[in-house]
Chain A
């Protein structure tokens, strides 16, 4: 499954919103209604970390300014008010089918 993210990069003023799109080459929803779409953030010099699982569920400790949405094969990650600590590369990923695949990434920087 091919994961396509847009845009490639974003430059955001602190306190302003940001939005990242992720489209998959096929639906990520299984026959039981679960959708296997995840969002990860890789901060500079660090390993990726899970932000959102199954489209819209924030992982433990993730601030509520991060919001995941979407369905089927079309998904969005929104940051309501970007902060300096949100800088890094965001990746969407799917695990409905092996092999799990990642999008190409969206780099978020602060203006």
Chain B
């Protein structure tokens, strides 16, 4: 049972990056999925959520209009398209599903936005 993120790296301000997360060992399509980020030395910050069936999405105010969350339940994947990146978007990004009965976090992938 795991979530594995990929796609992180170093990118210049204003550029784009796409993160991907693949789930295994559980029925991926039954769960809402989140992206949560954590800047160095800071607490977690929620970024986005997508409903189990993809019918609804919500974003944090700091990323609204720039980031897009999507999922493909046939491939057990959830993606985060990040556009117009800013220095303050630098963080470790976690793929997460969490509820009272199931809590699973990926190991995270670093995103560094720097010129």
Contact between chains at A99 and B105 (CB < 8 Å)? no
Question: Is A99 touching B58 in the complex (CB atoms < 8 A)?
Answer: yes
Residues of B within 8 A of A105 (CB): 43
**Do residues B43 and A47 form an inter-chain contact, with CB atoms below 8 A?**
no
What is the minimal beta-carbon distance from A40 to any residue of chain B, in angstroms? 8
- Report whether B100 and A48 are in contact in the complex, using a CB–CB cutoff of 8 Å: no
Q: How many A-B residue pairs have CB under 8 A?
A: 40
B44 interface neighbour in A50, A53, A54, A102, Cβ under 8 Å: A102
Q: Chain A residues with Cβ under 8 A from B110's Cβ?
A: none
Instruction: Report the bound CA distance from A101 to B34 in whole Å.
Output: 13
Bound complex: CA A47 to CA B99 (Å): 16
Q: In chain B, residues 70-104, which have Cβ atoms closer than 8 Å to a Cβ of chain A?
A: 94, 98-101, 103
**B65 at interface (Cβ–Cβ under 8 A)?**
no
CB < 8 Å neighbour of B46 from A53, A60, A89, A101: A101
Roughly how many angstroms separate A62 CA and B58 CA in the complex, as a whole number? Answer: 30
In the assembled complex, which residues on chain B have CB atoms less than 8 Å from the CB atom of A70? none
Q: How many angstroms between the C-alpha atoms of A101 and B46 in the bound complex? A: 7
Instruction: Check if B45 is an interface residue, CB within 8 A of chain A.
Output: yes
For chain B, which range describes its interface: under 10, 10 to 19, 20 to 34, or 35 or more residues?
Answer: 10 to 19
Is B13 among interface residues, defined by CB-CB distance under 8 A?
A: no
* A11 CB contacts on chain B under 8 angstroms: none
Number of interface residues of A (CB under 8 A): 21
CA of A54 to CA of B103, assembled, Å: 14
CB<8 Å pairs between A and B, sample of 29: A47-B94, A47-B105, A47-B106, A47-B107, A48-B44, A48-B105, A49-B103, A49-B105, A50-B98, A53-B99, A53-B100, A54-B100, A57-B100, A59-B100, A59-B103, A91-B43, A98-B49, A99-B46, A99-B58, A99-B60, A99-B61, A100-B34, A100-B46, A102-B43, A102-B44, A102-B45, A102-B46, A104-B43, A105-B43
Known: A47-B105, A48-B44, A98-B58. 18 other contacts (CB 8 A): A40-B44, A47-B107, A48-B105, A49-B103, A50-B103, A54-B100, A57-B100, A59-B100, A91-B44, A98-B49, A99-B58, A99-B61, A100-B34, A101-B46, A102-B43, A102-B45, A103-B43, A104-B43
